Amino acid sequence: MMKTKPIIISLICLIIIICLCIFIKSKYFSKPEKAEITQFLNDFKNELRDEHIDSAVNDFEAGKNNKQITVLVKLLAGKTGMNGKSAPTFNISLNTDDNKIIFSNSTNTIAEVPVSFTHAGMDTKQAVITFTIHKIADHRFKIAEVKTGVFLKGYMAYAILVRNKTVPENAIYSAITLAAFKTADKLKARYDSVLWFEHINKKTWFYVIKGTLNKEFYWLNNHKPDYKPTYKMGLVNPDLKEVIPAEYDLIHNIGGTIQGLIEVEKDGKKGFYNLGGKLVLPVNYDQIFPLKADDNMALLRNGDDYFYLKSDSTVSDKIQDFKIADVLPKIKAYGDSYTLSDESSENIMEYNDREDFTSLVVAPSYLVDWGILDQFVTFENPLRKPGADNDGIEASGSIEIKYEGHKKDEANNWLESAFYSIYNDYLGGRSGLYESKNVLIVNKAQNRILGFNVPSYQGQGDGGSVLSGKCNENAIRAINDTLFEYRTTSGVDQEIIKDTIYEAPYYHYLHIKNGKLEALPNQRVFGCTKYVKLDDSYLQGCYVINGKSIDHVTPEMLQYMKNEIYASYFYKFKSAAWNNVFYGDTDIPDNKKNASVDDSLTVIDKYNINWLNQKLQGQKSNTLAAE
């Protein structure tokens, strides 16, 4: 997520990192002095002050090769707003004399630089921008990396404050939004807060809170096992009558799961109210699957038992001899490709917050369980006007869900799978098109559907661009009843010695934990070497190398696979080139590396090293030595 409230991508909360380049390989220089770093930063600040944009851009290692750098420099210099085009609305200044050195070695220094935001008649606000400064020669430096998360958060908040102070509110908010703000203030006499409001047929419904919202409320992935809500949520209709009592953990969009009904959640269970305030379905069910055109509205799961919610809102008896795979094609959205945006529904849900310019969708719980959508999805809000360059907007322009087909595991007739690609056209500080992969596992033996979602980019840094389309692999197989191998094309951008692997089959090993799919920890590019014994099938696959696609691993990739196993144990390679491949952009000192790791290798690692040696040497090998 990328926002102080719900944000789309699971790339992570508040830190936005602009990766500019791989550190230049250089000899060791004397450790930079603080005075040198401060002087470099002062020179950079003066270039910004004097609007010497080209000079300031050249202070970065990537220079003019990265458009984001130019946009950032223009923003810091006060030439443009955050989109690189619109006029600035307030002043920005770097306080380089007050920088804080938080890490330094012979080549790299990390400096936190305070930033001030000012506007006439308003209080000054502060933020921080963090630079990694690379020493390229004695008394010569370049900016290798910049972390802008705290800075951009402060910038966007101040942009909204300035706009709210300098622009009439009726030019920012629609009439129905302004009326909702006033009604929400009145409702505070009955409730501790009003969180959201939703407009249906030009009438407004209010999501009310008793208690205090948990800090982790909007980040489902951050909920620990002992997470307990410190609030209760209810719903008030346009006549200000409470139609859903304030006793639930979550109330979804009206009609968002099934038309005319409102999905509610409490203690992990789900149910439905209708718009008149009647509890149509008791909140007793683990999962609710809305159905396409059918005599029944939904399939209900309670433990291992399944039921139907009939069209007359009654619940059927337990379904005998039930098979989830038979009903799967009837579940709403399964097997479909579709696009979501602020225009997907006539209803609009808004935050009761004058500083938030997005609209909100609380996704149906089953799509969250499947990993297809985040629990909270934000889009642009047509009822609010944030400004010329969308300062303050952190949301999706659209989300495209593309169905990629399904497969049956021929070796295990109890297993089926379905695959999706999800494209998030994200706006804001890290605008761009982001791609993720989703797999649904249909476990016929347990009558369950399990979902898993992962970004399509698995390399170092942010990634963010979509895959080239030259490779499109999706496969899953059961290693045993609870462990699955998911193989999907991913971006890796991994330099070896001669070649660079841009895209490759990436292996995720998924196990069932608390009824959900979770990935086992794995930092290897060739993750198959960690959890399974290799065979010839792992040598085949679609790779994009130096811009061209191939259907097999190369000898250099085989050597990388073997050496990557050793590198995971911090092995000190005899080859300087391989040391640079695995440790070149890290600061792991030699005394932390191991001359031998043979005694630490797992049984699988030992097997795979020997197997790879055989492939490399073309004959049986007993040695475990790495290059």
| E strands, 138-278, in order | 140-147, 193-200, 203-211, 231-236, 242-248, 250-251, 261-266, 269-274
* pLDDT, tens digit (0-9, with 9 covering 90-100), for 267-282: 999 999 999 999 999 9
Residue 421 domain-assigned (yes or no):
yes
| E strands, 291-357, in order | 296-302, 305-310, 338-340, 348-351
Nearest partner of 610 among 597, 596, 625, 595, judged by Cα: 625
- Is 255 exposed, middle or buried, given 0-12, 13-18 or 19+ CB atoms closer than 10 A? middle
Residues 66, 207: one domain? Answer: no
Residues 482, 607: one domain? Answer: no
Residues 153, 255: one domain? Answer: no
We report the CATH number of the domain holding residue 37 as: 3.10.450.100
Rounded to whole angstroms, the Cα distance separating 73 from 51 reads 9
Residues 288, 204: one domain? Answer: yes
Nearest partner of 324 among 292, 303, 299, 288, judged by Cα: 299
3-state SS assignment for residue 158: helix
Residues 127, 274: one domain? Answer: no
CB within 8 Å of 307: residues ≥ 6 apart: 285, 299, 300, 315, 316, 317, 318, 319
Q: Which pLDDT value is given to residue 3? A: 39
Indicate the pairing of strand 125-137 with strand 108-118: antiparallel
Residue 108 domain-assigned (yes or no):
yes
Rounded to whole angstroms, the Cα distance separating 300 from 282 reads 11
Last residue of a domain, one of 537, 553, 569: 553
Q: Are 24 and 107 in contact (CB under 8 A)?
A: no
Rounded to whole angstroms, the Cα distance separating 391 from 380 reads 12
In the chain, the number of structural domains is 4
What would the two tokens of residue 244 be?
A: 């859903």
Rounded to whole angstroms, the Cα distance separating 116 from 120 reads 13
Q: Are 333 and 369 in contact (CB under 8 A)?
A: no
Last residue of a domain, one of 520, 553, 586: 553
CB within 8 Å of 131: residues ≥ 6 apart: 41, 110, 111, 113, 143, 145, 146
Q: Are 504 and 564 in contact (CB under 8 A)?
A: no
Burial 431-445 (b: 16+ CB within 10 A, else e): beebbbbbbbbbbee
What would the two tokens of residue 77 be?
A: 């210099």
Q: Which pLDDT value is given to residue 469? A: 85
Q: Are 116 and 124 in contact (CB under 8 A)?
A: yes
Last residue of a domain, one of 521, 553, 585: 553
Q: Which pLDDT value is given to residue 460? A: 67
What would the two tokens of residue 402 be?
A: 């593309």
Residues 191, 134: one domain? Answer: no
Residue 98 domain-assigned (yes or no):
yes
Residues 327, 413: one domain? Answer: no
Residues 439, 528: one domain? Answer: yes
Residue 352 domain-assigned (yes or no):
no
3-state SS assignment for residue 361: strand
Rounded to whole angstroms, the Cα distance separating 265 from 362 reads 12
Residue 138 domain-assigned (yes or no):
yes
Residue 37 domain-assigned (yes or no):
yes
Residues 405, 548: one domain? Answer: yes
Nearest partner of 193 among 179, 182, 207, judged by Cα: 207
3-state SS assignment for residue 614: helix
H-assigned helices in 497-542: 528-531
Residues 26, 153: one domain? Answer: yes
What would the two tokens of residue 148 be?
A: 């802008």
Residues 179, 319: one domain? Answer: yes
Q: Which pLDDT value is given to residue 549? A: 94
Residue 387 domain-assigned (yes or no):
no
Domain span holding position 276:
169-339
3-state SS assignment for residue 575: coil
Q: Which pLDDT value is given to residue 18? A: 38
Sign of CA dihedral 281, 286, 292, 294: negative
Helix (H) or strand (E) holding 576: helix 576-583
CB atoms within 10 A of CB 65: 12
Residues with pLDDT less than 50, the chain: 1-28, 619-623
CB atoms within 10 A of CB 328: 18
Q: Which pLDDT value is given to residue 22? A: 36
Residue 608 domain-assigned (yes or no):
yes
Residues 186, 140: one domain? Answer: no
